[in-house]
A = this chain, B = another copy of it.
Amino acid sequence: MKDQTYRNTKQRKRILEVLSMTDIHPTASWVYDQLKPEFPSLSLGTVYRNLAILEEQGLLIKLHSGSTFDRYDAMVSPHAHFVCKVCGGLFDIKDMELGELKHSAEIKTRHHIEDVKLTYTGVCDDCLNKEMKD
């Protein structure tokens, strides 16, 4: 399973494209809904399998949103995330120095660190404003 040759299927290509064109960090199901009109016989299983392969290839990142389902992010350069506990929105936070964090943790521990995930939780700007009206 290591030195497997990947093929370029229409489905996989479009799944990555659809994911690259949004910043809402969608679920597998959302991706499926987007592509179902284009591939009427598309199945959720195919979407999941391709998301896993694309993750393996380093072309996307799987996010644990705090809910029961996973989300996917095609912006693979290291960055932090914010999850709003009111609307469920998941936003990017750029310019956070994850590389620095990784370095300081690597000297603090003796582990070999490959990845850093930084996730904030709270109430987003929009929901804060809406709450103030109540």
Contact = CB atoms under 8 A, between A and B. Distances in A.
Interface of A: 64, 66, 80, 82, 84-85, 91, 93, 95-96, 101-102, 104-105, 108-125, 128
Identical chains in the assembly: 2
A122 B111 contact: yes
A122 B117 contact: no
Given A82-B109, A112-B128, A128-B111, A101 B122 contact: no
Contacts of A102: 120
A128 to B, nearest CB: 6
A82 B120 CA distance: 17
A21 to B, nearest CB: 23
Nearest to A111: B124
A117 B96 CA distance: 14
A117 B121 contact: yes
A28 to B, nearest CB: 14
Contacts of A64: 64, 66
A120 B128 contact: no
Contacts of A124: 111-112
